[in-house]
Amino acid sequence: MNRPDTRHPARLPLALLLAAFGPAALAADSVTLDAVQVIGATPLPGIGLPRDQVPANVHTAKGDDLQSAGEPSLAEALGRRLPGVTLNETQGNPWQPDVNFRGFTVSPLLGTPQGLSVFLDGVRMNEGFGDVVNWDLIPQRALADVTLLPGANPLFGLNTLGGALVLQTKRGDTHPGGELEVSLGSHGRRQVGFEEGGQAGQFHWFVSGDGMREDGWRDYSPSKLSQLFAKGGWSNNQTDVSLTLAHAHTDLIGNALVPESLLRRDRSAVFTHPDNTQNLATLAALNASHWLSDTDQLSATAYLRRTRTRTLNGDLNDDYAEEHDLDPSFDLSGVVNRTATDQQAGGLGIQWSGTRGRHQLAVGAAYDQTRARFRQTAQEGLVTANRAVEGAEEEELDNSLSGRTRSTALYVTDTVALAPALHLTASARYQRTRVTNVDQLDPTPPNLDGDFTYRKLNPALGLTWAVSPALTFYGGFSQGSRAPTPIELGCADPANPCTLPNALAADPYLKQVVTRNLEVGARGRLGGGLRWNASLFRSTNLDDILFVGTSTSAGYFTNFGKTRRTGLEVGLAGDSDRFDWALHYNYLRATYQSSACLLAEFNSTAGSDPRCGDDEIRIRQGDRLPGLPAHSLKLLLSWRPTDALRVGADLAFYSDQTVRGNENGDHRGEDDTSGRGTLGGYGIVNLDADYALGSGWSAFGHIANLFDHRYATAGALAENPFTTAGHYQADPAAWRGEQFVAPGAPRGVWVGVRYQWGRR
């Protein structure tokens, strides 16, 4: 077990906070207590725990509040509304950001190490082939409640290293009535959405849909999305059965990072294009629960999912420089990479929960499997005058792989009342995961064939102490794990490096990642309706998986000693009849805890360490993980000056971050073009408002990035073959290293009207 470092400077703010709030919080007679909030602390519906008995700093939000924030995707709304959540908009598309929480990431991009699990109505939404989460496939309008459970909670299984995001959808008996909404505005965005819920006797139903198109604020960046969701069910006093159906079809353009020299000339510029992702997905899930007695409940979930993904990426030809040196007439400067991934997933979970004297128990089992077929082609071509890549040669098949992941789990949790105010929670999950790859292109070893089995028993132990009805202390230890994905196992041989997602190679064994998490904190309520929380956490990854480069574009996945995330979370909130507000501060120190050599050809210190290659840098214990700001501050405001008008604002401030390629933090650019190796901090202000017009009609509006601030959310050091005017240079000797960034969106304004009926 890793013990907390009592010398860490983050301990002082917590101590001061508890000293300041503790005496007031103990004076319970001056505090107005909120209704008890029950948290679903298991993957399937159960009895639930009162929030004050959960030994972690749980974050919750209502789906309607996320929808009113005005962001088109759930990921963007989470970034604006939830404490500690940050985004890397690497793809430059609002439906494709990397979502970070406590230094762990959940992303739609293959090859990104995933550290957060996502569940929708008890169904794991991380795709089996790469553990990615496609935010564009989650029906945001249908969400009723969002819960972010932090830490390596073993009950939620694979990928729950930094936390689990639990999404519950609406039902007709809890969300009756209907809504029709139309909006339009900046960047050619137009959207139509609807929802309708109702109940007749013991039957209930809910349907919703969204259609959205936008031109995008960057060049050549149109996207479109359509979603349909339906849930129907039957319930009585003992039994509840519901069927969830969800379908989505999306066509997204995300033109990714751009050199800073191009960005200074044209804020909407892209590097090369197109970069297109098309998703088609269908989900069917059957959920049922039954009260066996007043103290015992049985619940189950069965699901089927089908996801079809097609990508088309216009990239530079990695072989161009070498081929041009051999033959100066060689002009195939680009390559069109295409992938086709078809996945079929299914699973079954069953859980019993009940109370026995001082014990509140849950025991469950789950089985999930995914079959995936992955096909990849490359077509050499030319870079055009507007930096598009057009194929010129025959398309060649690079990879054809089928993968299968089967995962079986047993879990148990028990919350026991040691005393009326003291509760101990003990949990454990045993997970067995088998990953099988079959090379459909090359039957002769060494190929992509592989068959690996991973087993792990992960425990958790937590304690809560309600000193008074207005003050609770908590602390706990948890352990989670994730098995390597087929995409990582397909690129794990140092002797056969590959480019991702452009090629795969033979797959030796990789160890599973294990995360051990410690957390302590307190929460409470003060007079005047004030609520506060403060927590400290430390998460240590053992056998973390990193991509180690062997050339400019090639490399392999390998296990890497240790990484660590240490942090502090502090929150303060209040509400009244007319005004609600919340203030959240988060500190994160995410570092490497082992040494290694990483490819970083365009880092100014590359090749300076004799233990590494000419194009490599050496990272040391204590170097920062890239893409993660150390400080974030969020202020949420909502004001109702009249019964008809609501005005909201959210302000977010983030400190600087390290870019990829500068993992050692030592890069020193020779000029503005080669970059600093870091991105500066930034602040964003967003506004939203709605006004009731009467007879069910209302008008609403959103302003994103009110002050049109220029900022970037991610970056990397890489090679730029274009001039500052954006023209391709055929001579590789003229190419230069430069800092690439993911520019944030400029100011955007959207307005719309909404009609509601049958609401209560």
Neighbouring residues of 43: CB distance < 8 A, sequence distance ≥ 6: 119, 122, 155, 156, 157, 349, 351, 364, 366, 411
**Which of 29-33, 43-47, 506-510 is least confident?**
29-33
The DSSP call for residue 577 is S
What pLDDT is attached to residue 13? 41
In this prediction, residue 97 has a pLDDT band, given cuts at 50, 70 and 90, of: very high
What pLDDT is attached to residue 468? 92
Kindly report, residue by residue over 344-363, the tens digit of the pLDDT. Answer: 999 999 999 999 999 999 99
Q: Is the pLDDT of residue 689 over 60?
A: yes
What pLDDT is attached to residue 527? 85
Widest CA span in the chain: 85
Report percent pLDDT > 70 for the chain: 91
Kindly report, residue by residue over 288-338, the tens digit of the pLDDT. Answer: 999 999 999 999 999 999 999 999 999 999 889 989 999 999 999 999 999
**Which of 3-17, 390-404, 495-509, 717-731 is least confident?**
3-17
Q: Is the pLDDT of residue 493 over 90?
A: no
What pLDDT is attached to residue 549? 52
What pLDDT is attached to residue 1? 40
Q: Is the pLDDT of residue 6 over 60?
A: no
What pLDDT is attached to residue 41? 86
**Rounded CA gap, 497 and 504, in Å?**
8
Superfamily covering domain 11-757: TonB-dependent receptor, beta-barrel domain (2.40.170.20)
In this prediction, residue 509 has a pLDDT band, given cuts at 50, 70 and 90, of: low
Q: Is the pLDDT of residue 495 over 80?
A: no
Kindly report, residue by residue over 376-434, the tens digit of the pLDDT. Answer: 899 999 999 999 999 999 999 988 889 899 999 999 999 999 999 999 999 999 999 99
Nearest to 617 by CA among 757, 717, 536: 717
Q: What is the mean pLDDT of residues 742-754?
A: 96
What pLDDT is attached to residue 451? 87
DSSP-assigned beta bridge partners for residue 116: 163
Kindly report, residue by residue over 556-608, the tens digit of the pLDDT. Answer: 667 878 999 999 999 999 998 899 999 999 999 999 999 988 888 899 999 99
Query: Pick the residue with more confidence: 591 or 527?
Result: 591
Q: Are 452 and 406 in contact (CB under 8 A)?
A: no
**Rounded CA gap, 255 and 272, in Å?**
7
Q: Is the pLDDT of residue 648 over 90?
A: yes
Q: Is the pLDDT of residue 67 over 90?
A: no
Q: Is the pLDDT of residue 632 over 70?
A: yes
What pLDDT is attached to residue 29? 43
What pLDDT is attached to residue 354? 95
In this prediction, residue 4 has a pLDDT band, given cuts at 50, 70 and 90, of: very low
**Rounded CA gap, 709 and 706, in Å?**
8
What pLDDT is attached to residue 11? 42
Domain extents in the chain? 11-757
Q: Is the pLDDT of residue 458 over 60?
A: yes
- Rounded to the nearest integer, the mean pLDDT of the chain is 89
